[in-house]
Amino acid sequence: QAKLTGKNRFHVFDAVQDRSVRGQHQTLVRIEQGLERGEFVLHYQPKVNMRSGQLIGAEALIRWQHPEEGLVGPAAFLPVIENHPLAIRLGEWVIGSALAQVAAWQGEGLRVPVSVNIGAHHLQVADFMPRLCRLLAARPEVPPAMLELEVLESSALESLQQASRVIEACAEIGVSFALDDFGTGYSSLAYLKRLPAACLKIDQMFVRDMLHDSEDRAILQAIIGLASAFRRKVIAEGVETIEQGALLLELGCETAQGFYISRPLPAADLPGWAAGWLPPEDWRSVPRA
């Protein structure tokens, strides 16, 4: 196989377009081997309170540390396994690794709740709950409340009944849910009522242009208002500038993640980051909404 140049020009990426049975199969085999060889890693992006600077959690984001291709992002390989049982194996590896990381940070005296992304296919597994409980039981030192699961608003809607059952059952054991990329699915009030996720995660698309696009600003205000009316938490993703953060604070959204705050970090870098980060004065001085 010819080696491609450039950071994300990974041959697996071409397999995403290669719809042939053979091409897809080869890619699956490579991913499975990567998993067995321990080539997948999680990076963690801090979630903070923009006013106090408090670290409120970290989102686990998968990467493939490929021996030849370097660090490969999830867009290059997750679509290939989307509807394959391997997605569930990889998903459970992510949950288990994230819990192990929480335990390790706990050992260093650092309390960092983690958020893990769950694929649509994984959420539909009939024995999702007992399998999740087994992963939690393997880490008795980690309280279930240290785990949050992020599910795309759109994938929760694909199987509304199963999604709401899982969200409720998780709430009973202390594991919370966030609706990821919120605002890009249907965002209907009736759906929100049936999906008792504790948190709405505003898609970065609305944050990107919020300073120049009054409609995006209106959408942000509506989601923040919706969260408050339904007593859900709200977090913004994709904060890349000081101005975006300040405007979010003015609109009443205090928690966020984004490149301005921190890029996703290797686990070992998070404690040092947390010890050194302070929100800019502009954020601390925004009056409470």
Q: Is the dihedral of CA 191, 159, 137, 108 positive or negative?
A: negative
150 part of the interface to Mg ion, by CB under 5 A: yes
Q: Which residues contact 169 (CB under 8 A, 6 or more apart)?
A: 129
Per CB under 6 A, 244 contacts ligand C2E: no
> Which of ligand C2E, Mg ion, none does residue 143 bind (CB under 5 to 8 Å by kind)?
none
State the DSSP code for 145: G
Tell me how far apart the alpha carbons of residues 197 and 181 are, in angstroms, rounded to a whole number.
Answer: 13
Residue 153 in the binding site for Mg ion (CB under 5 A): no
Q: How far is the CB of 13 from ligand C2E (least distance, A)?
A: 13
**Alpha helix (H) residue ranges in the chain:** 11-17, 21-36, 78-81, 85-107, 120-123, 128-137, 153-158, 160-173, 189-194, 204-208, 214-229, 242-251, 270-276, 281-284
Q: Is 176 in the site for ligand C2E (CB under 6 A)?
A: no
Q: 148 vs 180, which CB is nearer to ligand C2E?
A: 180
Q: Which is nearer to ligand C2E, 57 or 238 (CB)?
A: 238
Structure tokens at 223: 């989601």
Backbone angles phi and psi of 178, in degrees to 5: -125, 140
Site for ligand C2E in 67-96 (CB under 6 A): 73-75, 78, 91, 94
**How many chain residues interact with ligand C2E (CB under 6 A)?**
24
Torsion region of 207: left, alpha or beta (phi above 0 gives left; psi -120 to 50 gives alpha): alpha
In this chain, which of 16, 31, 50, 62 binds ligand C2E, going by CB under 6 A?
62
The tokens describing 106, both together, are: 């706990």
34 binds ligand C2E (CB under 6 A): no
Q: How far is residue 214's CA from residue 60's CA, in Å, rounded to a whole number?
A: 32
Interface with ligand C2E (CB under 6 A), residue from 258, 270, 274, 279: 258
* Interaction between residue 148 and Mg ion (CB under 5 A): no
Of the pair 118, 227, the CB lying nearest ligand C2E is at 118
One residue of 37, 259, 277, 285 binding ligand C2E per CB under 6 A: 259
CB of 195 to Mg ion, least distance (A): 16
Residue from 13, 16, 30, 45 binding ligand C2E (CB under 6 A)? 45
Between strands 233-236 and 55-66, the pairing is unpaired
Distance of alpha carbon 156 from alpha carbon 65, whole angstroms: 30
Task: Enumerate binding residues for Mg ion (CB under 5 A).
Answer: 117, 150, 180-181
Task: Enumerate binding residues for ligand C2E (CB under 6 A).
Answer: 45, 61-62, 73-75, 78, 91, 94, 117-119, 150, 180-181, 204, 237-240, 257-259, 264
